[in-house]
Structure 1
Amino acid sequence: MTSQGALLLILGLGVLIFNVGVGPAFSRGAQQVVKKVAQLSTGEQVSRRLELAEVYRQQGQWQLAQQLVADGLQQLAQVADSSQYWQLRGQAWELQGKLQLATGKAEEALQSWQLAKGKYTQARDDQGAVRTQVYQALALQELGLHQKAIAILTPTLSYWQQEEVETQALSLRLLANILLVTGEVKNAQLQEFIVQFRGAEISNWDYLQQVRGLLEESLAISSPSSVSYQESLLSLGNAARAAYQRFQSNFERLSLPGCIS
C-alpha cells in the first residue's frame, strides 16, 4: 500500500471511530495521520490537514483544529500563489472562519471568509464563493450589522437553488434572524425570494409570520441530526418568544385606563 493509501485508510478509520464516539481511539488514529502527512506533497499535506481539522471542528476540539489550519496556511504561504493552490487556500480560510466564529471572533471570521471568497473566485468555484459570502453575512449579523448583512446576503439569493442544502438552510435561517431583529423587509428582491416558499400571500403576512415560514422551510430541508436543524429550532423558539412578548405588550396597552371603551 502506498503512503497516501495508508494515510487515507488511517484517516477513514479515524473518522469512523469519531462517528461512533470512541474518542481515545480516534485520537490515536489522528496522531498517526499527522506522522504520515509529512511524506506527501505540499498540496496533499494541506488537504489532509484540513480534512482532519474539519473532523476536530465537528468534535468541538477548536484548538487542535485551529493548529492544523494554521499549519496548512503556513505551508501555503511558502509556495507560489498559483491556480494549483487557490482552491486549497479558499478551503483553509473558510475553515479558519468557521473556527473563529465558533470561538466568538466574528470580526476575524469575516476577514477570513472575505479571503476565502477571493480564492474561490480565482479558482472559479462558484459554490465556494457564494457559500463564503453567505458566511460573511452571518458574521455581520453576529456583529449586529444587520443592514450590511442584508446587503451581503441579498445577491447570493439569486443562486439559492444551486447551493448545497446546508448553505440553503443557513441562508433561510440568516434571513429569518435578520428579519426578526429589523422587522419589515422593504427590499424587493428579498420579498420576491420569500414569496417562493409560501406563495404571493406571504407578502401580506406579518413579519413574524414570515420569519416562522422561513424557519419552517429551513427545518424542512435540514437533516434532523444536523447542527443547522438545531439552530433553526432555536431561532423558531426566539420567534415564538418575540410573538408572545408583542402579544403581551399589546394586551397590557389595551388594558390601560382609557383604552377600553
Structure 2
Amino acid sequence: MSEQDIHHRPALSNVLVLVPTYNERENLPLILRRIRDSVPDADVLVLEDNSPDGTGAVADRLAAADPRLQVMHRPGKEGLGKAYLAGFEWGLQHGYDALVEIDADGSHPPERLPTMLAAAEGADVVIGSRWIRGGRVVNWPIHRKALSVGGNIYVKTLLGMPVNDATAGYRVYRSDALRTIGLEGVDSYGYCFQADLTWRAIRAGLRVVEIPITFVEREIGQSKMNPDIARESLLNITRWGWEYRRGQLRSLSERLSHRQKKDS
C-alpha cells in the first residue's frame, strides 16, 4: 500500500472559509475578492464582532451581492478563539466537509488555499506555515520574527510537538478532525487558541501537515496583537507543557515500578 493510499481521506466537496473581523472595513472587500478568485466554489462566513468602524455594514453589503457569502453578527469583541469556535459550530451544523481559518487583513495569501485544500486530501489539519522550508514573512521587524520563531521553538520543545508553526492562524480543518478534537473544553480565546488546537489534534493522533506560505504584514489598519495576548499564550503553553512533562514522568515512574516488581 502506498503512502498516498494510507493517508487518503474523502474528497472535500463542501468548504467554508471563516473570516473573523474587527475594524477591517477597508481590508474586508479586498480579502473577500481574493478568496473568491482563489476558491470560487467555497462558501464564506464573515465572523463580525460588532466593529465600531462599520465593518458589519460593509460585510452585509457584500453578502447581498454574493449568495455564497454570509455574515454572523456577534455582540462584541471576545477574542479570536471565540469567534472561530462560533464559526466552527455553525459550519459543522450546516454540513461542511472542511473549515478554513484565514485573517481578514490580507496577511494570509488566499492564493495558497487550493494547495492547502489539496493537502487536506491526505491530512486532518493543514497549516499554512511561515517557518518551514519555502515559508517566509514579509515586512516584519527582526524582533517580531525572533519572537515568533522563538515562541514556536518553545512550544515545539516544551510539548514535544512535531509542528514548526503551531501558532499560525491560516489553517484547514477537516470537519471530522474538529469533532475528534472536541471543542467543548477549549478555553483559550486569544492567539494561543491556535497552539491549543494544534496540541489537541496531535494528542488525538490526527495527521497535521504544514504547507509553506508567504506571510505579508498588513498594510491597512492595526495589528490586534498586544502584550496581554502574548502573556496569555506564554502562561497557557507553559501550563500545558508542565502538565505534559509531569504526565511523562508519572508514566515513566509507573513503568519502572512495574519492571522492578516483575524482576523481583
TM over 0.5: no
Between structures 1 and 2, the one with greater helix share:
1
Short-chain TM bin: 0.3 to 0.5
What's the TM-score, normalizing by structure 1? Answer: 0.35
- Please say which structure displays the higher CA radius of gyration: 1
Using CA pairs below 8 Å that are at least 6 residues apart, which structure has the higher relative contact order? 2
What's the TM-score, normalizing by structure 2? Answer: 0.35
Between structures 1 and 2, the one with greater strand share:
2
